[in-house]
Copies of this chain bind each other. A is one copy, B any other.
Amino acid sequence: MTVSTGSKVEVRLPSRLGFEKVAMSTAAGMAKLMGFSEDRIEDLKTAVAEACINAMEHGNQMNASIPVSVVLSMKPDELEVKVMDNGVGIDKPTPAPDIDRKMAGEEETRGMGMFLIQALVDEAEWVSAANGTEDQSFVRLVIRMNKENE
């Protein structure tokens, strides 16, 4: 681990819808401590909520007793967030949502979480436990200081 333990916060939540809001609060508190602007904190909160909901639903299959773990690492000029679950991770990349296809009923109305995560943070990477090198599947998000939305 390259991050000193003196700048890491971990929060563990039950896989139960609604608890993603607790992770949002924790992430917002950490980002505020680092001096992120209010609008960057809003971006982070939505990204963290979507990542936690996916970890609960797709990773932990809504088994409330399996925790979602969120590790927030404060680094110089950036905040890294890993949202971990006990699932096998993502099998194939999901296409970006297409509002026209949704409106035409050709695509499910849902399926916007990963897109929003990618759109709102500076880096987003999905790592699958199925690939064998990691214990848990996770999505790793990074937001940077002094950097507007990409």
Chain A positions within 8 Å of B, measured between CB atoms, are 4-14, 16, 18-19, 21-26, 28-30, 32-33, 64-65, 67
Given contacts A4-B65, A65-B4, contact A9 B22 (CB under 8 A): yes
Residues from chain B with Cβ under 8 Å of A18 in the complex? 33
Bound together, the chains give a CA A33 to CA B33 distance in angstroms of 22
Most buried by B among A4, A10, A16: A10
How many protomers of this protein does the assembly include?
A: 2
A11 to B: closest C-beta gap in Å: 4
Residues from chain B with Cβ under 8 Å of A11 in the complex? 9-12, 26
Whether the Cβ atoms of A5 and B10 lie closer than 8 Å is: no
Residues from chain B with Cβ under 8 Å of A16 in the complex? 6-7
Bound together, the chains give a CA A28 to CA B26 distance in angstroms of 9
Bound together, the chains give a CA A25 to CA B72 distance in angstroms of 14
Whether the Cβ atoms of A29 and B33 lie closer than 8 Å is: no
Whether the Cβ atoms of B6 and A14 lie closer than 8 Å is: yes
A104 to B: closest C-beta gap in Å: 37
Residue of B with least CB distance to A7: B14
Residues from chain B with Cβ under 8 Å of A64 in the complex? 4-6
Residues from chain B with Cβ under 8 Å of A12 in the complex? 9-11
Bound together, the chains give a CA A129 to CA B6 distance in angstroms of 23
Bound together, the chains give a CA A147 to CA B110 distance in angstroms of 41
